[in-house]
């Protein structure tokens, strides 16, 4: 065999082996999540009520910060908890809205920290907030989230052992009816949080912290000196540092909170690019440490496969290019070339989660209508191939990344105003105007 076809042959076998590994991984997660639909501790009684501090970094979040703070005043947790909001150098009315709600709220106690020089990334804001946290357990939220009333109790149920340092909750998409991109994100969340994260938790592997709707022991976070300010993906970075220190991360399937997903392709591209680049940075930073650690073989394998997930789409793109070149250059078309293309598409479609994982997640979560948008997944995956390839290029060329804030539109606020127009005779909630971006705007001269 000539050198060039031999090179194509060897490369195709390598890519196919990687694809097959991820395919088997997702198959295992899917079948395990179906077989273990309920988490092991879902009926466990909550036997402790520690002091909890909820931390919220907020940069230009005037459209959503009010609805989050209002929802936090209605949580059903009977223990003591307080809220710390970090106004991270916002140029809008984020700080003003937070201060108004704090002044009108007696329980829980809400404190607002104003950073004059910020907006350069969430880790810096989070580390400043840590200095004001008094709770034994710290819960982190992004400003566009709305938790269920029992969220604190459900997160606390995950701290079943002293070596459990963090618990990640289930993220749902509440604005999935407003844009095609948010419908795609919903499908991604169903696969990632209903199937992959749940299975990894039940298999005692390494569930991944998502940076929001997560609870962390303050003592464990202090041991690590807080968040890594050089990490773009501070959540993945924290997951790995806790795991390498001997701690475990638990996944709480019943600890649910909804997010406002991005609604435009530009916002989707920017957000996913940051995730991909941050994930790749973590792969370079921690892969060697994981291999040299005393972690079990299965946890090592799960951690390395998790770190490699954003390298898979460029490999898929490479396989497409190789298959095309093999045809253009007139190479013989043995089975390996065809299988390479088929395996590349099938094994990684759907933002790193195969189609069957999305289907299983939608069925288990009774979100059957979401499956009508399944044809969008292959299209968006092509976009993710481009995103991950760009992130890999930026990493290789050591390009400087400028933090880009994800804008939110306040989906819950718009729905609440629509309901109020229908039910004009009903009394408004005590906080229905305080902290409302629209109400404040009307006061401006």
Least confident range of 213-222, 304-313, 406-415: 406-415
For residue 429, pLDDT over 80 is answered with: no
For residue 402, pLDDT over 80 is answered with: no
A 10 A CB-CB count for 6 gives 10
Q: Is residue 84 part of a domain?
A: no
Contact criterion met (CB below 8 Å) for 190 and 183? no
Helix 3-35 vs helix 335-348: angle between axes, to the nearest 10 degrees? 30
Q: Is residue 203 part of a domain?
A: yes
For the ranges 33-42, 68-77, 318-327, the maximum mean pLDDT occurs at 68-77
For residue 433, pLDDT over 80 is answered with: no
3-class DSSP state of 131? coil
Question: What is the rounded average pLDDT of the residues 418-424?
Answer: 43
Average pLDDT value for the chain: 85
3-class DSSP state of 273? helix
pLDDT per residue as tens digits for the range 7-31: 766 777 777 778 778 888 988 999 9
Q: What pLDDT is stored for residue 325 in this prediction? A: 72
What pTM did the predictor assign? 0.87
Question: What is the rounded average pLDDT of the residues 416-421?
Answer: 45
Domain extent, residue 387, equals 1-38+136-408
Least confident range of 50-54, 59-63, 426-430: 426-430
For residue 122, pLDDT over 60 is answered with: yes
For residue 236, pLDDT over 80 is answered with: yes
Q: What pLDDT is stored for residue 146 in this prediction? A: 96
Q: Is residue 209 part of a domain?
A: yes
Report residue 23 CA to chain centroid gap. Answer: 21
Contact criterion met (CB below 8 Å) for 316 and 340? no
Q: What DSSP character marks residue 107?
A: S
Q: Is 330 left (phi over 0), alpha (psi -120 to 50) or beta?
A: left
Q: Is residue 151 part of a domain?
A: yes
Q: Helix/strand/coil (H, E, C) string of 42-96?
A: CCCCCCCCCCEEEEEEECCCCCCHHHHHHHHCCCCCCCCEEEEEEEECCCCCHHH
More confident residue, 325 or 291: 291
Q: What pLDDT is stored for residue 217 in this prediction? A: 97
Q: How many domains are contained in the chain?
A: 1
3-class DSSP state of 364? helix
Q: Is residue 172 part of a domain?
A: yes
Q: At 413, is the pLDDT very low, low, confident or very high (cuts 50, 70, 90)? A: very low
Q: Is 352 left (phi over 0), alpha (psi -120 to 50) or beta?
A: left
Q: Is residue 441 part of a domain?
A: no
For residue 5, pLDDT over 70 is answered with: no
Q: What pLDDT is stored for residue 27 in this prediction? A: 87
Q: Is residue 279 part of a domain?
A: yes
How far is the C-alpha of 208 from the C-alpha of 250, rounded, in Å? 9
How far is the C-alpha of 276 from the C-alpha of 233, rounded, in Å? 8
H helical segments located in 245-311:
265-292, 297-307
Residue in 23, 7, 14, 1 with CA at minimum distance from that of residue 340:
14
For residue 337, pLDDT over 80 is answered with: no
Q: What pLDDT is stored for residue 231 in this prediction? A: 92
Q: Is residue 337 part of a domain?
A: yes
Q: At 214, is the pLDDT very low, low, confident or very high (cuts 50, 70, 90)? A: very high
Least confident range of 197-211, 212-226, 308-322: 308-322
């Amino acid at each position: 065999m000539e050198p060039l076809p031999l090179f194509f042959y060897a490369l195709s076998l390598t890519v196919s082996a990687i694809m097959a590994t991820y395919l088997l991984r997702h198959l295992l997660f899917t079948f395990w999540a179906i077989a273990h639909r309920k988490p092991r501790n879902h009926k466990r009684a909550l036997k402790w009520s520690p002091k909890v501090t909820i931390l919220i970094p907020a940069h230009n979040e005037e459209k959503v910060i009010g609805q989050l703070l209002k929802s936090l005043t209605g949580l059903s947790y009977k223990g003591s908890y307080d809220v710390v909001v970090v106004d991270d150098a916002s140029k809008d009315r984020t700080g003003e809205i937070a201060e108004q709600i704090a002044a009108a709220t007696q329980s829980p106690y809400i404190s607002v920290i104003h950073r004059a020089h910020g907006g350069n990334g969430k880790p810096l804001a989070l580390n400043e907030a840590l200095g004001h946290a008094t709770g034994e357990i710290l819960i982190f939220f992004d400003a566009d989230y709305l938790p269920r009333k029992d969220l604190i109790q459900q997160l606390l149920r995950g701290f079943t052992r002293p070596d459990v340092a963090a618990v990640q909750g289930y993220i749902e998409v509440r604005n999935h009816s407003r844009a095609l991109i948010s419908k795609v994100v919903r499908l991604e969340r169903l696969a990632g949080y209903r199937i992959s994260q749940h299975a990894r938790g039940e298999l005692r592997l390494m569930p991944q912290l998502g940076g929001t709707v997560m609870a962390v022991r303050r003592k464990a976070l202090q041991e690590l000196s807080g968040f890594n300010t050089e990490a773009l993906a501070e959540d993945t970075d924290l997951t790995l540092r806790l795991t390498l220190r001997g701690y475990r991360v638990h996944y709480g399937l019943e600890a649910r909170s909804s997010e406002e997903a991005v609604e435009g392709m530009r916002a989707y591209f920017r957000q996913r690019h940051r995730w991909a680049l941050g994930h790749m940075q973590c792969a370079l930073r921690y892969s060697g440490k994981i291999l040299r650690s005393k972690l079990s073989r299965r946890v090592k394998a799960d951690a390395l496969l998790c770190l490699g997930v954003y390298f898979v789409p460029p490999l898929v793109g490479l396989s497409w290019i190789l298959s095309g070149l093999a045809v253009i250059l007139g190479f013989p078309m043995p089975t390996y070339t065809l299988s390479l293309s088929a395996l590349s598409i099938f094994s990684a479609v759907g933002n790193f989660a195969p189609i069957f994982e999305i289907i299983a997640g939608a069925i288990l979560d009774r979100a059957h209508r979401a499956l009508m948008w399944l044809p969008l997944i292959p299209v968006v995956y092509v976009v993710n191939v481009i995103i991950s390839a760009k992130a890999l290029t930026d990493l290789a060329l050591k390009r400087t990344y400028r933090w880009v804030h994800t804008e939110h539109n306040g989906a819950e606020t718009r729905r609440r105003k629509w309901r109020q127009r229908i039910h004009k005779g009903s009394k408004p909630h005590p906080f229905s105007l305080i902290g409302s971006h629209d109400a404040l705007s009307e006061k401006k001269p």
